[in-house]
Amino acid sequence: MPYRSGFRAGLFEGHTVLIPGGGGGLGRCIAHELASLGARVVLAGRTQAKLDRVRDEIMEDGGAVAGCHALELRDEPAVVQLVERVLSEHGPVDGLVNAAGGQFPAKLENLSLNGWNAVLHNNLTSYFLVAREVYRQCMRQRGGSIVNIGADWEGGMAGMGHNGAARAGLSNLTATAASEWGRDGVRVNCVIPGFIATTGLDRYPEDDWDSLAGIARRVPLGRHGTAAEISAMAVFLLSEMAAYVTGADFRVDGGIHNGASSFLFQPESARNVRTFNGFHRDEPPALLDI
């Protein structure tokens, strides 16, 4: 069974899209959907085995993977060399999806400087480095689209202040890059997922699983999201249909930013709520038991 995308077949025929973080989670799903729509995807990330697995999946499904490149995305010389190699081996890059990253829970009072720096470098510096090099080496001359995968930082991020700081910076980086690079035909946008049912949730301590599963009570639509629902927004922003869209954050979060209740209102049980999950290889987290 192939990826069930809502976009027209061949939408990205002849396009090359670089996906740092394409070895798992949201990046894996986005890579699958883009490949199903005709894109030649280039996967990058820290672990070669994960990249190879996604490559093999996409090729089994009839898609094209131009290359897999393992590197430390926080290493400036390595990123410069990555983009040089991609352009040399695979030709111009039409789209970039920054989907790498990682974080861990910690209160600010218990957070070491090393932990702070690691998360800022994972979720902000690496995005900057890859975007800058793709712009410098390719998109400045021919335009393109960049999509950053962020997180909702407004209102603070208690228990993960390092991640909140990085994601706030990413939203500002997105807006600044859109302003500076727009005249070269480069669009830059940011997708802000809510709580998405991927195996990434299982990496949190088991003591937190009940809280993570219970998040749905805070969501107006009454459920967690799917990776395919995030991918659909990223694909739209990369596409020609978003030609006049740049410098913006797009929440795909079921409305959790607004909340599902107030001191005057308590929601009833969810009903008539639909889910889109076109990803035929989706792997839900164990903690949700779905």
| Strands, E assignment, the chain | 16-20, 40-45, 64-70, 95-98, 144-149, 186-193, 249-252
* pTM score over 0.75: yes
pLDDT value of residue 290? 55
Q: Is 180 helix (H, G, I), strand (E, B) or coil?
A: helix
Lowest mean pLDDT segment, chosen from 24-28, 122-126, 254-258: 254-258
pLDDT value of residue 100? 95
pLDDT at 289 over 90: no
pLDDT at 280 over 60: yes
**pLDDT above 70: percentage of residues in the chain:** 99
The closest alpha carbon to 155, from 229, 221, 217, 218, belongs to 218
pLDDT value of residue 261? 84
pLDDT at 264 over 90: no
What is the C-alpha separation between 79 and 74, in angstroms, rounded? 8
The tens digit of pLDDT for each residue in 103-130 reads 888 999 999 999 999 999 999 999 999 9
Structural domains of the chain sorted by starting position, each given as residue range(s) with its CATH number in brackets = 16-255 (3.40.50.720)
Higher pLDDT, 233 or 213: 233
pLDDT at 266 over 90: no
Residues 6+ apart with CB under 8 A from 284: 197, 198, 199, 290
Lowest mean pLDDT segment, chosen from 60-74, 103-117, 261-275: 261-275
pLDDT value of residue 284? 87
Strands 249-252 and 186-193, by their bridges, are: parallel
pLDDT value of residue 202? 76
The tens digit of pLDDT for each residue in 119-171 reads 999 999 999 999 999 999 999 999 999 999 999 898 888 988 999 999 999 99
pLDDT value of residue 212? 79
pLDDT at 63 over 90: yes
Position 28 confidence tier, pLDDT thresholds 50, 70, 90: very high
pLDDT at 75 over 70: yes
Average pLDDT over residues 224-253: 97
Position 281 confidence tier, pLDDT thresholds 50, 70, 90: very high
Residues 6+ apart with CB under 8 A from 151: 123, 157, 163, 164, 167, 192, 193
Average pLDDT over residues 231-242: 98
**pLDDT above 90: percentage of residues in the chain:** 78
User: Which pair of structure tokens corresponds to residue 46?
Assistant: 């820290």
Higher pLDDT, 202 or 222: 222
